[in-house]
Chains A and B, each alone.
Chain A
Amino acid sequence: MSAQSAAALRKQPVASQPIKRVFSWGRYPKTAHQFVHKPGWNDQIPKILKAAAPGSLLPYGLGRSYGDSCLNAGRELIDCRRLNRILGFDESTGILRCESGVSLSDILEVFIPKGWFPPVTPGTRFVTIGGAIANDIHGKNHHRAGTFGAHVRQIALHRSNDGLVICNPEINSDMLRATIGGLGLTGVIAWADIQLKRVAGPWIEAESIPFRSLKSFLDLSRESNDRFEYTVAWLDCFAGKNPRGIFFRGNHAAERGEKFHPGRGLELPFALPGWMVNRYSVKAFNTAYYAIHAARKGAAVVPYESFFYPLDSIRQWNLLYGRQGFLQYQCVIPDTTVVALEELLDRIARSGMGSFLGVLKQFGSAPPAGMLSFSRPGVTIALDFAMRGERTLKLMQSLDEVVQQSGGALYPAKDARMSPALFEASFPHWRSFVRYIDPKISSSFWRRVTEAR
C-alpha cells in the first residue's frame, strides 16, 4: 500500500527521494523506509497527506528520539527540517511563531542576543520544535516550568481530513492536548506559538555538589528546588544501592562570566568498535568524571552551552556505542517509592552493564500538558546501555518489572522495546487518544505498543 503511494508521489512536484535507512539517535532498531518526503514549504504538506495511503506517513525532525517513536519502518517519513522559518516574534509578549522544523539551536542563536530563552530545554539543542511538542519534552527546570507543552500557546496542524486546524486553549483545545506529547501522530504541525522567557544574558550561575547516596540526592533536590530554576544530577550507576553522583543546579545570571569561545567541537566521524564501551572503560570514565567534578565543586558563572548541552560539544556521540547502537532506559518512579529506585540501581549494578550517562531528576507536580505526557510527579532516571542483543533486552525487562510494580512509567521518546502491557500501565488513557490520530499517520512505536498493524 505504502509502496503504491510512494510511487504515486514520485510523480508529483514535491521533491522526494528513496532512502533505505533512517536512524533514530540510538541507531537501534535499524529500519528501512520506503520513502522520505522533503518538503521545503508548508504549502506542500496537504498534497503529501492527501496522496498517502492510510497509516503510511510520520513527521520526522532531527531524529533525536532514541528508539522507534520517530521511525516508520517499511513506510514513509516527512522530513520537516526544511520547514525552519521563524514567522514572527512579539517583543512585548515574548511569543514566537515558528514552523515545526526550527531547532532549539536556531532559536538560541537568534534570541539569546535579544534577551530571550526557550521556556524548557532538554539536554541537547539539536531538537526541532515539532519534536519538542510531539514528545512534550522536559528539562532541568521541570520542577518550576513543567514541560515544553505548557508553553505552547497555539498550533496550526495539517490534518489529512480537515486541512489546516488551529488549536489553542479556546478552539480545538482537545486536539492541542492530544498533539502535545502525541508522538507526531495527530498531524503535521505547520507552526506553533511558543512563549519564550526573558533572561539577562547567556550566563548561568551554576553549582555542582557531590553526593554519595540516593537519600542525599533527594535531600539536595528538595533543598534546591525552591532556590534554583535548574536542577539535575549525574549518577555513577556501577555503585549499586548507594550510588555516587554529582548534583548540578543553577540560575540565569545577570553578571558576565568568563568569555566563552564556542569551538566547532569534536565530531565522531564513524561508529567506534562496540567493545570500546565495556564495564572497565565505563568504570574508569565514571571514576574520572566523579573525581573531576568533586574536585571542582562549588559555584561558578558558566556559559549556558556548557551547563545545558555538555554532550553537544561532541557531535554524533551516539557513534561511541558502535554499530549495534544503544538503548536508553528512561523511566519515572513515583515519589513515594524510593525503594524502587534502589532496586533498579541494584539490578543494573549486578548486571555489570552500566552506562556513562546516568541522569537523575526530580519532577515537579505540574499537571500534564498533553494527553500522553510522560512527566509526572516523581524521580526520573535515564541510563544508556550499549546494545548487546538478548542480554541487554533481558536486563531491561527486569527493570520493567520494577517500574511497573512501582506504578511508574517509561518514556516513549527513549524507547525501542517496551511491551504493550507496560505501555498500557504507563499510559492508561491511551485509548481515548486514538480518536485524535490522523488516519494517514502511524509510527513503528505506535504499531508496536498497541499491537496494531
Chain B
Amino acid sequence: MNVNASATAMKKIVVLGATSGIALEVERQLARRGCQLLLVGRSAERLAELQGDMAVRGARQVFTYAADLGCVQQHAAIFDFARRAFPDFDTVLLAYGSMRNQKDSEASVDILLEELQVNFVSATAILTLFAADLERRRTGCLAAITSVAGDRGRRSNYVYGSAKGALSLFLQGVRSRLHPAGVRVITIKPGPVQTPMTDHLSNAARFANPEQVARDIVRALERRSPDVLYTPKLWRFVMKAVQEIPEGIFKRLSF
C-alpha cells in the first residue's frame, strides 16, 4: 500500500494543529502513503486516538506532542521536541486556527486580540522557528493554511480575515527569504470547508468536503506546484473577481 519512498520527497511531516478538521484528513492521506508524522495539538487524549488511527492506516511512525500552539511561551519546547524526536523532518504544515463569531470580537477587545494572537501572532512565531531550521538545512517545505477570507476584508468576518490575510503576507515574505535556500513555502487558501470550525454557520451544508481539500493540499506538498494554493480551485477565480470590485461598491456589500 505504501508508495515507494523515492516517489515523493515528503517523508517526515510535522503537523501543527493536528486535530483540526482539515489536518485530520491530510494526515490520513499522508498515513496511507507511509509517511512519518509528528502531530502537535492541544489534547493529549485526542492525539493518542490519532496516533492509533494513523499507525493502522499505514504511517511508518507517529510521534505526538501535546501543547497549546496559541501560547508562544510553549513554542520553544515544541520545536525542541521536533528537533530531538524528528531531526530530519522535511515538511511543516501549520493547520490550526480559530474562527469565533465576528460580533464577539466587535464587542470585546480581549476576544479580538485572542483571535489575532491565535491566527496571526502565534502562527508567525512558530513558523519562524521552523523556517530557520529548514533554511539552515537548505531543504524541505513550509506550508500554512490561511484562508480566502484573507483576500479581502468583509463586513461579516474581517477579524478572522485580517489575521489570515496578514499571515498570507508573512508567508509571502518568508517564501522570498527561503527561496535562495531552496525551501518551498506554500500558502494554502481554502474556501469554506465542512469542519467543526464552520458547523455553526447556516450554509455549512454547501461547503467543500474536507477530504477533497486535503487531497489538493497533499498534492501541493508532494509536487512543485504553485506557491499559493486555492482549494477548491474555483476559489482562485472567485477571489480574483472579488478583489476587482471597487471599494466604493464593496463597502456596501453585507456578506
Contact = CB atoms under 8 A, between A and B. Distances in A.
Contacts of A97: 52
Given A86-B57, A89-B56, A110-B57, A41 B199 contact: no
Nearest to B210: A82
A124 B197 CA distance: 31
Interface residue range, chain A:
20 to 34
A223 interface: no
B53 interface: yes
B87 to A, nearest CB: 28
A43 interface: yes
B46 A41 contact: yes
Given A15-B199, A40-B21, A113-B1, A88 B43 contact: no
Interface centre among B49, B57, B200 (most CB of A within 10 A): B49
Interface string B173-197: 0000000000000000000000011
A75 interface: no
Contacts of B57: 86, 110
Contacts of A82: 196
Interface string A66-90: 0000000000000000100111110
Interface in A23-72: 38, 40-43
Nearest to A38: B199
A146 to B, nearest CB: 26
A281 interface: no
Nearest to A14: B196
B122 to A, nearest CB: 20
Contacts of A42: 49
B204 A17 contact: yes
Interface centre among A19, A42, A43, A87 (most CB of B within 10 A): A87
A404 interface: no
Contacts of A99: 49
A16 interface: yes
Contact of A87 (B19, B52, B200): B52
A40 B54 CA distance: 16
B46 A43 contact: yes
A110 B45 contact: no
Interface string B1-41: 10000000000000000010100000000000000000000
B50 interface: yes
A97 B48 CA distance: 14
A15 B200 contact: yes
Contact of A40 (B45, B56, B196, B201): B196
A86 B46 contact: no
A85 B196 contact: no
Contacts of B21: 40
Contacts of A113: 1
A38 B196 contact: yes
Contacts of A40: 21, 196
B206 to A, nearest CB: 12
Nearest to A19: B205
Contacts of B56: 86, 88-89, 110
A85 B53 contact: yes
Contact of B49 (A16, A18, A41): A41
Contacts of A41: 19, 43, 46, 49
B43 A85 contact: no
A110 B28 CA distance: 11
A72 B196 CA distance: 23
Interface in A168-184: none
Given A15-B197, A41-B19, A86-B53, 10 more contacts: A15-B200, A17-B200, A18-B202, A41-B46, A85-B53, A87-B53, A88-B56, A97-B52, A99-B49, A113-B1
24 contacts: A15-B197, A15-B199, A15-B200, A16-B199, A16-B200, A17-B199, A17-B201, A19-B205, A38-B199, A40-B196, A41-B43, A41-B46, A42-B49, A43-B43, A43-B45, A43-B46, A82-B196, A86-B53, A86-B56, A86-B57, A87-B52, A89-B56, A110-B56, A113-B1
Interface of A: 15-19, 38, 40-43, 82, 85-89, 97, 99, 110, 113
| The 7 nearest A-B residue pairs measured at CB | A15-B199, A85-B53, A15-B196, A87-B52, A86-B56, A40-B196, A88-B52
